[in-house]
Amino acid sequence: MRNILIIVALILTSGLFAQAADSLHFSLPLAMDPVFDYYSLSYLGSKSLGRGHSSVSFTGGEESILTNPAAYKAGQSSIYLEMLVKPPSTTKIYQFESDFNAPLPLGIVALGGEIVPTFTWGTAYSLPKIITLNSMNIVMNQSKDFHRHDPPNSLHQNTGNIAFDIAGSSSGRSVYSRYPHYSLHQATGNLAFHLGAFNLGLNLHGQFHYIDDLAILRSFAAIRKTKFMLRPQAGFLYDKDNWGAGATYMPQAKLDWDMDLINFSSKLPALATFGARYQGSKHGFSAQADWENTSIVHPKYKDRLTLKAGYENTRNEKTKYRLGYIYHPGIYNGLYTFPTVTIAHADTSIWWNDVPKGGKIPKNDQHFLTVGLETHIKYVEFNLAFAYQIIGAEPMSQISLSASLNPDIFKRKKPHPAE
């Protein structure tokens, strides 16, 4: 009997070690890691989103420099502004009843113009990725009052995660909440060459990677860091009257980041896109593939191939309707563990004993349906788009609204001779 118990204990122990060995240790700061792209990624360009975000083969206004550096043609200069909303997504990725949200609704601000007939310039500010994970709740026993770590930006705050334990109120139990946040702020400069149907372009992206309240076990330190990187992107577009084809490429980049209590050394994946379109008198069709070598971030990750398709119906000169589909595959599903402070002055308070050391990333191959509407008034072009995830482990949707303003709207009109 004794031998049987020893064998059973060895089997259980080996199972625990195997589970720990199979757990993922992030090579990028939490929430910045590409496994969270299924929520953090914003589909920029409301016109593009309406047709399934298949846009690399289209020429367009100032906002198009973000989809293809060769795509902007300055037929008429304008000012482009886009707002987007991503409703919070409930998830069990860490603790129950936690969720993701995107606190900032700004998507793109862009403008551009013509240098000479064959050269154009453009510039844009955009927010390609943003996510706040309301997840780490640490039960404490200090007083009968709430003990809350407020994010520096109140927009990151989710008071639903600040819960008082009524059952233990006599002993003064409270919850200390953490809000890991990541956002990518991007300033883009564009230069493009246009000769007939041939278009070549180059973007230089100044990327500000912002991390706030990085979640590390056994530390109450509120780590906040910004990392600046320059990333080039090249683009090609062949654009005829009723058909076109385009491609872009942004190389991978090395990222080393000192986060005070922990260091990260990894790479950001390359991005290559290719797409084609056909446009009849009223009906248009487009398709696109986006490839990222996300396996360079972690050996357990798969490379990602995102597929997009769209349809566009031209009702009249002022109105267009759009439909689209996006397949965005996951790159990893399974267990993960949080980084832990191991240095001598690490906070070894008993409050950490009940905090989960990790969680599970679900299998989340996303399938989106998209719809869009374009309409024009005298000085403004409006685009509205909606994307809804029809298949996927976690709920996800996005609403985008943009306005492209002709600067003439701000010019003072000449008085009528009769005035």
Does pLDDT of 418 surpass 60? Answer: no
Tens of pLDDT along 273-288?
Answer: 999 999 988 999 999 9
pLDDT at res. 243 = 94
Tens of pLDDT along 164-192?
Answer: 333 344 445 677 778 889 999 999 999 99
Does pLDDT of 8 surpass 50? Answer: no
pLDDT at res. 255 = 94
At the top level of CATH, the class of 2-135+180-410 is: mainly beta
Does pLDDT of 141 surpass 70? Answer: no
Q: What percent of the chain has pLDDT over 90?
A: 56
Average pLDDT value for residue range 281-309: 96
Confidence of residue 406 (pLDDT cuts 50, 70, 90): confident
**Closest among 155, 161, 176, 257 to 222, alpha carbons compared:** 176
Does pLDDT of 145 surpass 70? Answer: no
Q: How far is the first Cα of the chain from the last one, in angstroms, to the nearest whole number? A: 108
Tens of pLDDT along 100-115?
Answer: 888 888 899 999 999 9
The residue extents of the domains of the chain are: 2-135+180-410
pLDDT at res. 356 = 82
Average pLDDT value for residue range 387-399: 92
pLDDT at res. 246 = 97
Range name among 71-75, 161-165, 179-183, 332-336 with the lowest pLDDT average:
161-165
Average pLDDT value for residue range 210-216: 90
pLDDT at res. 22 = 65
pLDDT at res. 408 = 65
Average pLDDT value for residue range 127-132: 95
Does pLDDT of 419 surpass 70? Answer: no
pLDDT at res. 156 = 41
Does pLDDT of 44 surpass 90? Answer: yes
Nearby residues of 253 by Cβ (< 8 Å), 6 or more positions away = 229, 231, 267, 268
